């Protein structure tokens, strides 16, 4: 039985120059065919799926209208057994929130919202090419709370060109004033096939690792002092507010993924749907294979992923199968905390998590 469902909605009000998620600017002509295709995918592969968690991600799921979201959720409800659903998350861009939409989503069973605020500084939001202002993000947050949403995550980005550490601390403090349940704080990465990557390659943007480490340390200090637990390197939650969907994914649980570019891992096979909305629709309508990638993963995760994902979480990883000499060296240098049955990153190790994981592999 598969217990986790991801649905990828590839539309955004406007494409941000740093983002490499599969998405396109919203196109009214394609939307209904896309929604029909998702429901057809549920018909074709929803058997054996009784979700405990659902995650509508993107893109921007709330780029869909209230009616379209209603159609999609009702359609999924009619096809899948929701009786054991515990967490239903939807990602939102602050520019796509309205009272009507928030109320309809909560009524349909959504019980967690993840909103991309990124920064509370208007100049930085402009640098990031965001479609919303800081005050619009604040208004949207209050709309969600007033509509009765009791579990809200806010996404923030640090290490943005032009952002000082003081400005970042200020963004964290302003986030805390709103009392969200969860905060995801991501270090800006320059992803291939983005405008930011080109600007990085041309030398306009210069990464500053030492400064990124400082941003990271400030994040840990400010959020832990406010009662958030860093249960994964980029994710901080109030007690009991960890994202169950992401935890399942990091722990290697099977999951189904609907929509273009969505991954599924089931019964030792990982597949990815084609990252092209028109082609995804065509293949689903024609009853053709919608995957353009597949690999075998007998235990749900590859050994390298067990280390890479596990090390980023507060539980760490088992030392089984890892060279004890490497563990001793990393422990002696202050990057790892080792007990007989667990290896965990220290604070110093968290600053260079990917490099530590690479050493362990």
Q: Which residues bind ligand SAM (CB under 6 A)?
A: 12, 18-19, 21, 57-58, 60, 91, 93, 116, 118, 155, 157, 186, 188-189, 191
Question: Does the footprint of ligand SF4 cover residue 16 (CB under 6 A)?
Answer: yes
Residue keyed to tokens 């690792």 = 209
Residues 49-88 that bind ligand SF4 (CB under 6 A): 58-60
91 forms beta bridges with: 114
What is the closest distance, in whole angstroms, from the C-beta atom of residue 58 to ligand SAM in the complex?
5
DSSP 8-state assignment for residue 255? B
DSSP 8-state assignment for residue 267? T
- Number of residues interacting with ligand SF4: please give it, by CB under 6 A: 11
Please work out, in degrees rounded to the nearest 5, the angle formed at the alpha carbon of residue 321 by the alpha carbons of 318 and 323.
Answer: 105
Q: Distance (Å, rounded) from C-alpha 101 to C-alpha 346? A: 42
Residue 225, Cβ neighbours under 10 Å: how many?
9
Nearer to ligand SAM, 46 or 59 (CB): 59
The whole-angstrom distance between residue 325's C-alpha and the CA centroid of its chain comes to 35
Question: Does the footprint of ligand SF4 cover residue 94 (CB under 6 A)?
Answer: no
Site map 255..294 versus ligand SF4, x via CB under 6 A: ----------------------------------------
What is the closest distance, in whole angstroms, from the C-beta atom of residue 351 to ligand SAM in the complex?
16
One of 19, 106, 178, 213 touching ligand SF4 (CB under 6 A)? 19
Question: Does the footprint of ligand SF4 cover residue 15 (CB under 6 A)?
Answer: yes
Residue 288, Cβ neighbours under 10 Å: how many?
11
Contact (CB, 8 A) for 152 and 112: yes
The helix (H) or strand (E) run that includes residue 349 is helix 347-350
Question: Does the footprint of ligand SF4 cover residue 7 (CB under 6 A)?
Answer: no
What is the closest distance, in whole angstroms, from the C-beta atom of residue 321 to ligand SAM in the complex?
31
């Amino acid at each position: 039985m598969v217990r986790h469902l991801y649905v990828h909605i590839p539309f955004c009000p406007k494409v941000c120059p740093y983002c490499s998620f599969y998405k396109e600017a919203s196109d009214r002509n394609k939307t209904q065919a896309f929604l029909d295709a998702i429901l057809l995918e549920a018909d074709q592969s929803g058997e054996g799926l009784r979700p405990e968690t659902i995650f509508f991600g993107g893109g921007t799921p709330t780029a869909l209208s209230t009616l379209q979201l209603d159609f999609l959720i009702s359609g999924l409800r009619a096809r899948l057994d929701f009786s054991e659903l515990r967490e239903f998350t939807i990602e939102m861009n602050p520019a796509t929130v309205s009272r009507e939409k928030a109320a309809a989503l909560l009524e349909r069973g959504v019980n967690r919202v993840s909103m991309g605020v990124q920064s509370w500084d208007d100049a930085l939001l402009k640098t990031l090419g965001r479609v919303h202002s800081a005050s619009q993000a604040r208004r949207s947050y209050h709309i969600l709370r007033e509509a009765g949403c009791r579990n809200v995550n806010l996404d923030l980005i640090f290490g943005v060109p032009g952002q000082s550490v003081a400005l970042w601390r200020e963004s964290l403090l302003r986030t805390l004033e709103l009392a969200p349940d969860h905060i995801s704080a991501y270090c800006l990465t320059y992803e291939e096939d983005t405008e930011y990557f080109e600007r990085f390659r041309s030398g306009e943007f210069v990464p500053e690792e030492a400064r990124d480490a400082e941003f990271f340390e400030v994040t840990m200090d400010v959020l832990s002092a406010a009662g958030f637990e860093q249960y994964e390197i980029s994710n901080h939650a109030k007690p009991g507010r960890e994202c169950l969907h992401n935890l399942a994914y990091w722990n290697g649980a099977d999951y189904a993924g609907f929509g273009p570019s969505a991954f599924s891992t089931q019964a030792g096979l990982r597949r990815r749907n084609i990252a092209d909305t028109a082609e995804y629709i065509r293949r689903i309508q024609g009853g053709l294979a919608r995957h353009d990638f597949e690999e075998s993963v007998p235990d749900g995760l590859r050994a390298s992923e067990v280390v890479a994902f596990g090390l980023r979480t507060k539980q760490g990883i088992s030392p089984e199968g890892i060279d004890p000499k490497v563990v001793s060296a990393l422990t002696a240098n202050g990057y790892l905390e080792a007990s007989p049955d667990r290896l965990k990153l220290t604070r110093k190790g968290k600053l260079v998590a990917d490099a530590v994981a690479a050493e362990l592999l």
